[in-house]
Amino acid sequence: MNLHTIDTPALILDEAKMDTNIARMRDKAKSLGVTLRPHLKTSKCWEVAKRQIWTPEGPATVSTLKEAEEFAAHGIKDMIYAVGIAPQKLHRVAALVRQGVDLKIILDNVDSARAVSRFCQEEKLTLKVMIEIDCDGHRSGLKPQNPEIVEVAAAIEAPAKLVGVLTHAGGSYDVDTHEALLIRSRAERDGICQAAQMLRSAGYDISIVSVGSTPTALTDEDLTGVTELRAGVYVFFDLFQAGVGICKPEDIALSLLVTVIGHQLEKGWVITDGGWMALSRDRGTANQKVDQGYGLVCDINGKIIEGLWVSGANQEHGIISARNPEGFDPKDFPIGTRLRILPNHACPTGAQHPYYYVVNNSLEVKDRWNRFYGW
């Protein structure tokens, strides 16, 4: 198989770029003296995940119990399910724990803490619990100075066990300079350490102090008081991360292979078979300094074609145009031409596809790696 012969649209993974990205994050964690707990949600693929983890048993982060179950089947034991627990999911958590998986769950309120405690008492089972902290107002969690943190801790009753605190600096996605990222990084560290200290002062043993987002992880300079670093999209990167300033478009390991199927000459359009069903509807870069539409256009070798972007998309049609239409002739891309599109957001683009076609510095497809779906 090669990129001239496989069917399109197809999800292409550049193994060499991926390996470079993995090494970059691993080296960063080592330099900071913390454990890297990679988030495996981006790839949902064992062939990728096993390259990210430090040991065959982890540690790792997941965002769905489907991920936890799939990766546990491959031998990963040490995981954090980093989404607030819904009570009906506790039976699946318990099944994994009884299989020997060290799966930690998170929550941020007294009601959830009580529900987990009741479940553990009824099942005579210890589940490890972490309290989610909101360090920047981005999503869920308790503010670092909120006394309710101790109230939540008090509601976690044996045999449930409080083991740590966790935060995600999602606000780092809203900035685009090193200086601004450094401010977010410091706020993330200071906030989680403040919460950990509040709990320790109240008599709780906090062994895990967990931070993470790809932009702050690659910006961090000092993680004193933190025990581990979580990040995920770094494995592939994408145009949104490039807009934040944490990578270059040339670092992006994931692309969508498409075929030119038509032209609209009066509009200056090249039409491909790669619509939003293949790219996803994610338009996250629209709020950044440079709107990348639905993706940047590369030739079949993965080299960016300056000035071209996927300016629009229907369900199965991608529309490529020139930012500066002067001198652009869509006929320069004849019917059957193959192009590659760099995605806005690697996670939802990956989610549209059942597998990755793996290449390594050539057009030859060296392997095809399965990815999985669901919750």
Sheet strands side by side (includes 60-62):
35-38, 228-231, 208-211, 161-167, 128-133, 102-107, 78-84, 60-62
- pLDDT band at residue 368, thresholds of 50, 70 and 90? very high
Judge whether residue 181 has pLDDT over 90.
yes
Q: What separation in angstroms does the CA of 53 have from each of 40, 129, 155, 237, 261?
A: 9, 22, 33, 17, 41
- Give 301-312 pLDDT, tens digit per residue: 999 999 999 999
| 3 state SS for 92-145 | HHHHHHHCCCEEEEEECCHHHHHHHHHHHHHHCCCCEEEEEECCCCCCCCECCC
Residue 136: name the closest of 95, 175, 169, 174 by CA: 169
Q: Which residue has the tokens 């790792």?
A: 60
Average pLDDT of the chain is 97
For 253-370, CATH number out of 1.10.10.10, 3.40.50.720, 3.30.930.10, 2.40.37.20 equals: 2.40.37.20
- Give 279-321 pLDDT, tens digit per residue: 999 999 999 999 999 999 999 999 999 999 999 999 999 999 9
Helix axes 148-155, 110-123, angle to 10 degrees: 10
Average pLDDT on 107-119 reads: 98
Q: What angle do CA 146, 148, 149 make, to 5 degrees?
A: 80
Average pLDDT on 94-113 reads: 98
- Pairing relationship of beta strands 338-342 and 254-264 according to DSSP bridges: antiparallel
CATH code for the domain defined by 33-237: 3.20.20.10
**pLDDT at site 139:** 84
Judge whether residue 369 has pLDDT over 90.
yes
* Greatest pairwise CA separation for the chain in angstroms: 72
Taking residue 214's Cβ as centre, other Cβ atoms within 10 Å add up to 27
CA distance 34 to 25: 12
Rg (CA), the chain: 22
Considering the chain, what percentage of its residues have pLDDT values greater than 70?
100
Residues with Cβ within 8 Å of 120's Cβ and at least 6 positions away in sequence, in order, are 126, 127, 157, 158, 159, 160
- Give 68-77 pLDDT, tens digit per residue: 999 999 999 9
Residue type, 215: P
Beta pairing partners, 353: none
Q: Which two tokens stand for residue 313?
A: 């998309």
Helix axes 148-155, 178-201, angle to 10 degrees: 50
Average pLDDT on 346-362 reads: 96
- Give 144-168 pLDDT, tens digit per residue: 999 999 999 999 999 999 999 999 9
Considering the chain, what percentage of its residues have pLDDT values greater than 90?
98
**pLDDT at site 224:** 98
**pLDDT at site 137:** 85
- pLDDT band at residue 361, thresholds of 50, 70 and 90? confident
Which ranges in the chain are annotated with CATH 3.20.20.10? Answer: 33-237
